[in-house]
Amino acid sequence: MERQRQQGSWSIISMFVVASIIGTVVGISLTSSLAFSASQAGKSWAKFDASGNLIKPEGYREWVYVGAPLTPDDMNDGKAPFPEFHSVYIDPDSYKHYTRTGNFRDGTIIVKELISVGSKEAPSGNGYFMGDFIGLEATVKDSKRFAKEPANWAYFTFSPVPPRPNVMMKPKAKMMPTESCNLCHQGFAQHDWVFTQYYPVLKAAKP
């Protein structure tokens, strides 16, 4: 009788232990699969409000930088269309997709941060050196939201007009008229309306 009772409590304890182990394994898999699905879900990093305005992206300086074209005012009669350095970033999930496929997935967001020329002389030589942040532009590829746009890309600007430092970027932006951006992208961009020819990181990442 005593032995039976002992056996009974042992089997309850072992059942408890087994259940805890199963639970722990379930917990770990659950967390890992959630983390996995977050990065693989194909969820876009572009966020829109209810009226379809693109909300100013945050944290893009920790995205993947792809290149920095420079169109200084002093080489463009004082009026570069995009003054002056353009640091260009792609969201990390779309970058991963690009390294696997060589294509921009649905939901890709590419950000272009405009930076003034701060100086033209440094210990490393004559040249162009970055000054202040003065503008922020973005493009988003979305086959549902921008079904009618060429290649489903839409363009947005958060920059003050004219671009200048110490001015807050707009918190959200309406899509630009198609013709104002797409004409250049459509005619001259190397791959899928994106100027990959100026982005060595994307050129190198193409599988």
Residues lying near a second copy in the complex (CB under 8 A) are found at 12, 15-17, 19-32, 35, 61-62, 64-65, 67-72, 75-76, 80-82, 84-87, 89, 92, 95, 115, 118-119, 122-133, 184, 187-188, 195, 197-201, 204-205
CA distance to 27, 35, 36, per residue, from 30 (Å): 5, 9, 10
Task: Compute the least distance from the CB of residue 138 to a second copy, in Å.
Answer: 16
Kindly tell me which of 53 and 71 has the beta carbon lying closer to a second copy.
Answer: 71
Cβ nearer to a second copy, comparing 27 with 52: 27
Q: Which own/partner contact pairs does 175-184 have at CB distance under 8 Å and 24+ positions apart?
A: 175/52, 175/54, 175/146, 178/149, 178/150, 180/155, 181/139, 181/155, 182/149, 182/150, 182/153, 182/155
Dihedral through CA 29, CA 34, CA 40, CA 45, nearest 10? -160
Q: How far is the CB of 91 from a second copy (least distance, A)?
A: 12
Q: How far apart are CB 148 and a second copy at their closest, in Å? A: 23
Closest residue by Cα to residue 153 from 103, 118, 81, 86: 103
49 or 121: CB nearest a second copy = 121
Tell me phi and psi for residue 122, to 5 degrees: -155, 170
Question: In the complex with a second copy, which residue's Cβ is closer, 32 or 180?
Answer: 32
Contacts of 30 by beta carbon, 8 Å cutoff, 6+ apart: none
Name the residue nearer to a second copy (CB basis): 37 or 143. Answer: 37
Instruction: Say how many CA atoms lie within 13 Å of 13 toward its Cβ.
Output: 6
Smallest distance from a second copy to CB 47, Å: 21
Instruction: Give me the least distance between CB of 80 and a second copy, in Å please.
Output: 5
